[in-house]
Amino acid sequence: MWRRGRSPNTTMELLFVVTLLWSEALCGSPSVQIGGLFPRGADQEYSAFRVGMVQFGMADFRLTPHIDNLEVANSFAVTNCFCSQFSRGVYAIFGFYDKKSVNTITSFCETLHVSFITPSFPAEGMNQFVLQMRPDIKGPLVSLVEYYKWEKFAYLYDSDRGLSTLQVILDTAAEKKWVVTAINVGNLKDERKDEAYRSLFQDLEIRKERRIILDCEQDKVRDIMEQVITIGRHVKGYHYIIANLGFVDGDLSKIQYGGANVSGFQIVDFDDPVVAKFDQRWEALEEKEYPGADIRIRYTSALTYDAVHVMTEAFRFLHKQRIDMSRRGNSGDCLANPAVPWAQGVEIERALKQVRVDGLTGNIQFDQYGKRINYSVTVMELKNSGPVKIGYWNEVDKMVVTKSDLYPNDTMGMENKTVIVSTILEAPYVMLKKNSELFQDNDRYEGYCVDLAAEIAKHCGIRYQLRIVGDGKYGARDAETKIWNGMVGELVYGKADIAVAPLTITLVREEVIDFSKPFMSLGISIMIKKPQKSKPGVFSFLDPLAYEIWMCIVFAYIGVSVVLFLVSRFSPYEWTLEEPEDGAMPLTTESTNEFGIFNSLWFSLGAFMRQGCDISPRSLSGRIVGGVWWFFTLIIISSYTANLAAFLTVERMVSPIESAEDLAKQSEICYGTLDSGSTKEFFRRSKIALFDKMWQYMKSAEPSVFVKKTSEGVLRVRKSKGKYAYLLESTMNEYIEQRKPCDTMKVGGNLDSKGYGIATPKGSPLRVPINLAVLKLNEQGTLDKMKNKWWYDKGECGFKDSTNKEKTSALSLSNVAGVFYILVGGLGLAMMVALVEFCYKSRAEAKKMKVAANTLSSPQHTGNYTHTLSSPQHAPNFNVLSPSHQPNYATYKEGYNVYGIESVKI
């Protein structure tokens, strides 16, 4: 608001030089010395003072100012400046004061009979030589409270402005049985005032105090309102009365659309012709020469301008009456002892009080104590369209309401009005048509929200125009400026009437705007790049059972075989004598056992493979072992068979993450959300340890993991090669998953549960009709039909394509390659074993034949054998071999041996 290029002191000095040059231009005309005490920073007030000097100065009479710039809260500085002005021979002093310096100034004025004209707050008591340019606000304030029928409210006052208004409020409260909570906000330290204001309003909220009077100047009102907006106390249900005379001087744009009722008073009526004419001249001033002229004149500056008018009229009257106003003797020493009052001071005081003019602040008239009388104050209320007059107050008629409206922030009717619908370009909610340049207005767009807006308009009977939000954001409040952006900001600041978009219903948004019933339910989900389908391994047929199960089966197989071997050895029923062929006499009396270790392994393997075996246990213990093994293999084989089809026919995708927990505990995959959205707010405000950990990572990640648009986040997922996960609403995640190039997927469940709603400004008359329309569309099934239309019916990834299912169910060679490998390997192993057996057996047979040949070729054995054959009488008798030769007999039992020319079966 203020020019920062030069310090206030320098500005004042330069302006004073300009004023002196103007005074010299009027040399020769009667001059009256006027003092001026301006606080630092009051550039606009001083500019108004100078403009008044120029405006009311004439050739036959002029005022000559002597300006001092000081800190009005410093009584010592005020004393020095006042005495300096008095020693210069000034006839009256214009200036400002505060609570600390008011007594010093009034004391000097009473003692020295010097008139002091001030726009500061009215001083308490009867001060003869002080003229109060500012009207008293006590009467208008009490009348406004009575008009609103307040019986319980909080009164926040600045003690630097005095306590007279507070006293009147408390006296009236005692009379009318009001409940008033009075709080002094004038003694708060600057470095902690924001925190103190927030704490104060939180305490008031606990007490259910939602009607508040702010008896402060505009700078303090601005600070308080900033904190009110920060903590969300500027919404519907709250009512504030600003108890000063410059309602339109402050910046009310931030609270204007919040929903709270704000009332106040205005002493400068900008609709008045006199004020309007001055305002035109004020706007034409150069800001460099008149600091503060770049903004509308404040009420304190208007009071300053009127003060110059009053002084000019008074001294012109005295000049015409030829009253001697010369200073004599020691009248220039304000600290003289005893003090010498100025003899003509009373005449000047009387002349000032007799002035009656119309100024920027209306009728200017004073009583015998220098206070304004017969003045009128405009009563204002803040609406969505801006400050509006609802009435006025004067001393005769008191409170007069010209526009009755107990609900000042209700929006105007929607009849014969085109409703502005704010939305955002976000597929599939709102999209530009392919040939959008050939269409106009709403016909340029298509999508779910476009259809929804049309249905809502049809049910509510309104005309509407779609408008894309300028900054492309949904809506969040800036942490520093406290200003809302996006679609929420457009609703809060009156740029749109409705927002139809995927706008999440949240607490912070609900505090500043109204939402309809949810038209779609959803939650935060995780989007990742779809991993490549894992190719089946060579031994994929082993996948139906876990590795641990296969190992247990192997150990069980070996264990059962060993137990069966031991049981067969211990059980006598497994031992049998070998029966000879053709009823011959048994060659041996030894028992045999079929379940050796190899036969036991073979029996267990045959049972496991469901092929059976040519031997089986004879003993009860052996059969128990076989029975439990058969039962075991039955369950295992059935389970394996049941899972085998699924594992061989489905190509599975191995996802690197499956949930938010997986994201939080790893560091390879980055993850982020949309900036300025509800998802980001969810993580920022969450008190759950997991989500808080994720938020701490996201806000400190470099480079930033936040994206400006959803499309940017999806593109980042697709290009990151699986190293970035995007957190977004589940509905959008499902939609993108059905769009080409079909390379994204949703993993895990939703992290929360929420809904999308249609938003309207606080207090909008469209809220109820929109709610009813949404409920009706939901009951008719229209919302579900629209979702199916834009999500699945127009899907591009074959979500409902049955042919794809048939292709995925067909087995390929790669699925069963391992079985063929085992078959080929088994056949090869059998051939190798057969070859080894043949070689081993051939070698063993060769050795045995060689031993047998050597035995038969010896002389003793040859003679005996020949003799036996040559004796006829002994023909039927064969020579039985000795026991030492019995192994050879067993060896050749099944074959034929050739001895010489004849062949004999042994």
Position 858 scores a pLDDT of: 62
Cβ–Cβ under 8 Å, residues 364 and 124? no
More confident residue, 526 or 613: 526
Residue 436 reports pLDDT greater than 80 = yes
- Span 766-783, mean pLDDT? 92
Position 633 scores a pLDDT of: 86
Other CB atoms closer than 10 Å to residue 761's CB: what's the count?
27
Sequence-distant (≥ 6) Cβ neighbours of residue 227 within 8 angstroms: 194, 197, 198, 201
Torsions phi, psi of 594, nearest 5?
A: -70, -25
The predicted-structure confidence for 867-877, as pLDDT tens digits, reads as follows 444 444 444 44
Considering 245-259, 394-408, 643-657, the range whose residues carry the highest mean pLDDT is: 245-259
The predicted-structure confidence for 307-333, as pLDDT tens digits, reads as follows 999 999 998 888 887 776 665 544 567
Residue 696 reports pLDDT greater than 70 = yes
More confident residue, 691 or 593: 691
- Span 767-787, mean pLDDT? 92
Residue 97 reports pLDDT greater than 70 = yes
Position 145 scores a pLDDT of: 93
Position 365 scores a pLDDT of: 93
Helix axes 678-685, 689-700, angle to 10 degrees: 120
User: What amino acid occupies position 888?
Assistant: N
Position 27 scores a pLDDT of: 43
The predicted-structure confidence for 814-857, as pLDDT tens digits, reads as follows 666 766 777 677 778 778 877 887 888 888 888 888 888 887 76
Position 891 scores a pLDDT of: 40
Residue 789 reports pLDDT greater than 60 = yes
Helix, strand, coil: what percent of the chain each, to 5? Answer: 45, 20, 35
Position 802 scores a pLDDT of: 38
Residue 757 reports pLDDT greater than 60 = yes
- Span 192-221, mean pLDDT? 87
Position 404 scores a pLDDT of: 55
- Element at 670 (helix H, strand E): strand 670-672
- Span 50-66, mean pLDDT? 83
Position 816 scores a pLDDT of: 67
Measured distance CA(618)–CA(592) in Å, rounded: 13
The predicted-structure confidence for 702-712, as pLDDT tens digits, reads as follows 889 999 888 89
Cβ–Cβ under 8 Å, residues 144 and 182? no
- Looking only at the bridges linking them, the beta strands covering 357-359 and 362-364 are antiparallel
Confidence of residue 189 (pLDDT cuts 50, 70, 90): low
Instruction: Label residue 365 exposed, middle or buried (CB < 10 Å: 0-12, 13-18, 19+).
Output: middle
Residue 364 reports pLDDT greater than 90 = yes
- Least confident interval from 105-109, 238-242, 407-411, 550-554: 407-411
The predicted-structure confidence for 614-655, as pLDDT tens digits, reads as follows 777 888 887 888 888 888 888 888 888 887 766 666 555 567
What's 582's DSSP letter? G
Q: Mean pLDDT for the chain?
A: 80
Position 267 scores a pLDDT of: 94
Cβ–Cβ under 8 Å, residues 613 and 602? yes
Confidence of residue 797 (pLDDT cuts 50, 70, 90): confident
Residue 34 reports pLDDT greater than 70 = yes
Residue 465 reports pLDDT greater than 60 = yes
Sequence-distant (≥ 6) Cβ neighbours of residue 94 within 8 angstroms: 34, 35, 36, 37, 49, 116, 117, 118, 304, 307, 308, 311
Residue 512 reports pLDDT greater than 90 = no
Measured distance CA(107)–CA(116) in Å, rounded: 11
The predicted-structure confidence for 697-749, as pLDDT tens digits, reads as follows 998 888 899 998 888 999 999 988 888 999 998 888 888 888 888 888 888 88
Position 534 scores a pLDDT of: 62
Residue 539 reports pLDDT greater than 80 = no
Query: Alpha-carbon dihedral of residues 831, 836, 838, 842, nearest 10 degrees?
Result: 170
Helix spans in 609-686 (H) = 620-649, 660-664, 678-685
Position 729 scores a pLDDT of: 87
Confidence of residue 154 (pLDDT cuts 50, 70, 90): very high
Q: How many helices (H) and strands (E) does the chain have?
A: 29, 32
